[in-house]
Amino acid sequence: MDQVSFLRDCVIAVTSDDHESFDLIFEQTERVASARGMSVNEDDVANALRSVIADGFVDAYVLSPHGPHSTKVEFTPEQLHDLWYYATPLGKSQARSIPFLLGESE
Q: Residue 95: which residues within 8 A CB-CB, separation 6 or more? A: 12, 13, 16, 87, 101, 102
- Convert the pLDDT of each residue in 36-49 to its tens digit: 899 999 999 999 99
Give the distance from CA 71 to its chain's centroid. Answer: 17
**Tell me, what CATH number does 74's domain have?**
1.10.10.10
pTM above 0.75, yes or no: yes
- Convert the pLDDT of each residue in 36-87 to its tens digit: 899 999 999 999 999 999 999 999 999 999 989 999 999 999 999 999 999 9
Number of domains in the chain: 1
Domain hosting residue 88, numbered range = 3-102
